[in-house]
């Protein structure tokens, strides 16, 4: 079995395999529309493939490494995705080999923490992936949302030229992915995504919401930024336009949850992903350097990131991390 990085010449073949497996014919968007960063040609160093006897790609995997601003400082995290196998090559151990190689590659590159999203967590549990962290899902279908828009303000569709101002709003979240130049423009202009902004008299966005992420997060506001009271106005407009009836709220943004619940919204919490600790010693040093007591059981991501308890309530850990919907891969 040969595992190697996907070459520029093979990129299209890799994309077509990913698309066929994770975006079937019923989807209105392609995989590269919904995951423009992890599947970009600039990320080829983090795409691996197994080839069959004819040299065709039989299975693949990819990951996207970004720094995340955590409660203890900036930390490199790998988002793992696009784990696919061609139907005629399934059952031959290709996916397992690719997962092992990717995790080894991440460890060799000193990436301490990884996360993935899956409907079949049992496939990854043997490699240390455990549901950890949390995010809150809020149903706003019957919520009493704000409607009193200031006459000097306006709600309109997001335009590409709004990107710098919206990036500034996003940067005000205390826990977030530190996006590279160009990341936001790709994310905010994904096909199947609609952005709304609230602007003042100078037409500069003061708050924003983004509805949907292609075939991911249907009927959801997957990212929002700005003052909570302005977010309520944008959520009301998104609901009026039938763009979204739910809001994804990552960790450390509970003020919006409380505001919505006070207005009649229902909610539930769930883990933010399937996490794996790749370098427990590095995480321990990282937490110690910020004056934070590290986890007692260093190989269990729940001990670091917290979890959702049996009553459905978030239980924080020493390392606060938020994954916004646009940053899931």
228 and 288 both lie in a single domain: no
Pair 310, 160: CB distance under 8 Å: no
What is the pLDDT at residue 2? 86
- State the average pLDDT over residues 78-92: 95
pLDDT of 292 over the 80 cut: yes
The count of structural domains within the chain is 2
Phi-psi region of 242 (alpha: psi -120 to 50; beta: other; left: phi over 0): left
159 and 259 both lie in a single domain: yes
135-190: pLDDT as tens digits:
999 999 999 998 899 999 999 999 999 999 999 999 999 999 999 999 999 999 99
What is the pLDDT at residue 220? 97
162 and 86 both lie in a single domain: no
214 and 123 both lie in a single domain: no
Report the C-alpha gap between 261 and 229 in whole angstroms. 14
What is the pLDDT at residue 216? 86
165 and 45 both lie in a single domain: no
- State the average pLDDT over residues 53-76: 96
Report the C-alpha gap between 76 and 217 in whole angstroms. 25
194 and 156 both lie in a single domain: yes
What is the pLDDT at residue 237? 97
Report the C-alpha gap between 59 and 217 in whole angstroms. 26
215 and 145 both lie in a single domain: yes
82 and 151 both lie in a single domain: no
Angle, CA of 42, 166 and 65, to the nearest 5°? 30
30 and 115 both lie in a single domain: yes
206 and 303 both lie in a single domain: no
Give the number of other CB atoms < 10 A from CB of residue 155: 19
* Confidence band for 23, pLDDT divided at 50, 70 and 90: confident
Give the number of other CB atoms < 10 A from CB of residue 105: 17
pLDDT of 27 over the 90 cut: no
What is the pLDDT at residue 250? 97
Residue at a domain's end among 269, 292, 307: 269
124 and 1 both lie in a single domain: yes
Residue at a domain's end among 246, 269, 292: 269
What is the pLDDT at residue 24? 75
Residue at a domain's end among 269, 300, 316: 269
299 and 262 both lie in a single domain: no
Domain with 144 in it: what CATH number?
3.40.630.30
Structural domain range at position 247: 136-269
């Amino acid at each position: 079995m040969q595992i190697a990085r996907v070459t520029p010449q093979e990129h299209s073949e890799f994309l077509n395999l990913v698309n066929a497996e994770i975006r079937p014919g019923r989807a209105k968007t392609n995989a590269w529309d919904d995951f423009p960063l992890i599947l970009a040609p600039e990320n080829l160093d983090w795409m691996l493939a197994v080839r069959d006897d004819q040299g065709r790609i039989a299975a693949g995997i990819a990951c996207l490494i970004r720094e995340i601003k955590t409660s203890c400082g900036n930390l490199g995290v790998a988002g793992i995705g696009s784990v696919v196998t061609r139907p005629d090559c399934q059952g031959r151990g290709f996916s397992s080999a690719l997962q092992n190689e990717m995790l080894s590659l991440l460890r060799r590159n000193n990436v301490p923490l990884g996360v993935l999203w899956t409907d079949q967590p049992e496939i990854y549990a043997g490699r240390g992936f455990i549901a950890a962290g949390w995010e809150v899902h809020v149903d706003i279908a019957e919520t009493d949302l704000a409607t009193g828009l200031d006459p000097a303000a306006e709600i309109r569709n997001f335009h590409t030229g709004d990107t710098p101002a919206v990036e500034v709003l996003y940067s005000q979240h205390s826990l977030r992915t530190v996006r590279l130049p160009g990341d936001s423009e790709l994310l905010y202009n994904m096909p199947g995504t609609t952005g709304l902004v609230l602007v003042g008299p100078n037409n500069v966005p003061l708050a924003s919401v983004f509805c949907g992420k292609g075939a991911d997060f249907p009927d959801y506001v997957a990212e929002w930024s700005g003052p909570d009271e302005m977010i309520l106005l944008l959520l009301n407009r998104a609901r009026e336009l039938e763009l979204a009836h739910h809001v994804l709220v990552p960790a450390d943004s509970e003020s919006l949850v409380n505001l919505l619940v006070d207005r009649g919204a229902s909610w539930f919490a769930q883990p933010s992903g399937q996490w794996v600790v790749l370098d427990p010693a590095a995480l321990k040093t990282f937490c110690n350097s910020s004056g934070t007591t590290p986890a007692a059981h260093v190989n269990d991501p729940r001990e670091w990131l917290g979890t959702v308890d049996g009553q459905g309530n978030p239980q924080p850990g020493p390392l606060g991390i938020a994954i916004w919907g646009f940053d899931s891969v």
